[in-house]
Structure 1
Amino acid sequence: MSEQSLQGKNVLIAGGAKNLGGLISRQVAADGANVAIHYNSESSREAALETAAAVEAAGGTAVVLSGDLTRPAAVEALFRDAAAKLGSIDIAVNTVGKVLRKPIAETTEAEYDEMMDVNAKSAYFFIKEAGRTLSDGGRIVTIVTSLLAAFTDGYSTYAGGKSPVEHFTRAAAKEFAPRGISVTAVAPGPMDTPFFYGQETPERVAFHKSQAMGNQLTQIEDIAPIVRFLATDGWWITGQTIFANGGYTTR
């Protein structure tokens, strides 16, 4: 198959305001896509507007949408509103996640529920709604974590919350295949963003860096091109989790 283009495609990015989601938004816009940029909390609104301005400057159409994606009705509204503004959505990328580093013995029921809602429930209903509404030949990509292949302490609710997404991805890949929709997950190593540092001590940061090539954390610039590939020429990859972490871990 010839090289596929994002020109004129409509892309919805959950958590698309900043960090990895913001970079993906900018990169797909530079390749000719229109972008629906989702953000959750009011603190991210300004970043979402800045990313939308960058999309528009690149020549694309941008729409900024908000919503709590742990509520299925909000996920439905997100896809409905994005399509109303841009037209049928072709590519749906979910970068939403929440990290908690805490021993099991100290984790509360409320913390457990929130982590499962953000990392698993929202991903499930995002995939569901994408499969229901995407154009034929669409692409669905979810960001998970390389901790899925790690044997470590402290991250039971984070890695545990992301783990079901692999099963969601495989099932969706089979169920959506008749419409030519591919479904994948990308598992970065610990990323060099504020999302990571709040959970770790300087000593553990140094350890995480030591486990990957170049003695560094995963950069968002390492991951965004992989998402673009899966959304275009990598269309034949489906039902898979791609571990992209500089050798941090594997299985």
Structure 2
Amino acid sequence: MTQSTPRVAIVTGGSGGIGRAVAERLAADGMTVLVHYAGNPARAEETVQAIVAAGGTATAARADVADEHEVAALFDEAEQRYGGVDVVVHTAGIMLLSPLAELDLDDLDRMHRTNIRGTFVVDREAARRVRRGGAIINFSTSVTRIALPTYAAYAASKGAVDAMTLILARELRGRDITVNAVAPGPTATPLFLEGKEQSVVDHMASMAPLERLGTPDDIAEAVSFLAGPARWINGQVVHANGGII
């Protein structure tokens, strides 16, 4: 791929945690980044300022990922501001945990809307707009294989992400666009650590042969690979979990 202008990336959920690490890494790789957020403009602006301070180019934009009109406007902004879209990384999602027998169906519906419908909406727009040589990267979870108790509804929503990832890769035949998903294992983000006893954190850290939790930068490393040099990896779910399973 030879382009005279920087490649342009949209990172959903780019205001914190893994999304912020991804946005900063892609900017460090030389991409111009549109940092998407849903409800926290201050944190999104912190991500933008960190990228700019490091010499990169970024702006923030809000959208409800499950609203097709707002997502279309997000892509419009990237095209109008930067000339097009080359990479879409969809990290935005929610995780609500409960044993299946005690599941609040309202929580199931919330995760369905954000994690499944949201991925469909973002992927649909990406499939229509990403330029040749581009990459679409969804976010799954290693819990689809690890099968931890209380994660049934969340893992089910991410199982849907796996399915649409593999199928979209095949539907984009001839477009020179890769479609993959990254499936993190336990990762030391504030969201993950919140409310967990240290014994639980220690147990999850011990699950990997590398004997530690992942970091947001570990996950961003995998995204950077898929977004850039990994042109022959396509239609895959890449488990970035330190070898848990």
Class of the TM-score when normalised by the shorter of the 2 chains = over 0.9
Match of 2:122 in 1: 126
- Aligned length, in residue pairs: 245
- TM-score, normalization: structure 2? 0.94
2:10 is aligned with 1:12 = yes
Which residue pairs with 1:23 in the alignment? 21
Call closer, same or farther: CA 1:70–1:200 in 2, change over 3 Å: farther
Distance in structure 2 (CA, Å) of the matches to 1:206 and 1:5? 46
After superposition, the Cα gap between the structure-2 partners of 1:5 and 1:82, relative to the gap in structure 1 and judged at 3 Å, is: closer
- Cα distance in 1 between the residues matched to 2:171 and 2:133: 13
Question: 1:6·1:232 contact (CA, 8 Å) conserved in 2?
Answer: no
- Quick check: which one's helix share is greater? 1
**1:190-209 matches, cutoff 5 A:** 190-198=186-194, 200-209=196-205
**Counterpart AA for 2:113:** D
- Whether 1:72 and 2:65 are equivalent positions in the alignment is no
The residue that corresponds to 2:33 in the other structure is 35
Aligned to 1:147: 143
Q: Structure 1 CA distance, aligned partners of 2:192 and 2:3?
A: 33
Quote the residue 1:113 is aligned against: 109
Task: Evaluate the alpha carbon distance shift between residue 195 and residue 7 of structure 1 in structure 2; reply closer, same or farther with a 3 A threshold.
Answer: farther
Q: Structure 1 residues 136 and 239 mapped into 2: Cα distance closer, same or farther (>3 Å)?
A: same
Q: What is the 5 A alignment of 1:1-251?
A: 8-41=6-39, 44-198=40-194, 200-249=196-245
Shift of 1:199: 5.7
Q: Which runs of 5+ in 1 are unaligned?
A: none
Distance in 2, matches of 1:180 and 1:123, equals 21
**How far off is 1:127 after superposition?**
1.0
Over residues 40-81 of structure 1, what are the superposed CA-to-partner deviations in whole Å (9 max), with x where a residue is unaligned?
A: 11xx21121121122223333322101111222222221112
Give, as a single letter, the amino acid of the residue that structure 1 aligns with 2:221: P
Secondary structure class of the residue paired with 1:177 = coil
Which segment is superposed worse, 80-89 or 163-172? 80-89
Q: Give yes or no for contact 1:11–1:35 (8 Å, CA) kept in 2.
A: yes
Contact map agreement 1:91 1:231 (CA 8 A) in 2: yes
Q: Cα 1:50–1:151, aligned 2, differ >3 Å: closer, same or farther?
A: closer
TM-score normalised over the length of structure 1: 0.91
Cα 1:25–1:6, aligned 2, differ >3 Å: closer, same or farther?
A: farther
Compared with structure 1, are the counterparts of its residues 202 and 6 closer, same or farther at alpha carbon in structure 2 (3 Å cutoff)? farther
Deviation at 1:241, TM superposition (A): 0.2
For 2:63, the aligned partner's letter is G
CA distance in 2, matches of 1:237, 1:6: 25
Question: Helix, strand or coil: the match of 2:173?
Answer: helix
Q: Is residue 6–residue 31 contact of structure 1 (8 Å, CA) maintained in 2?
A: no
Structure 2 unaligned residues grouped into runs of 5+: none
What value does the CA root-mean-square deviation take over the aligned residues? 1.9
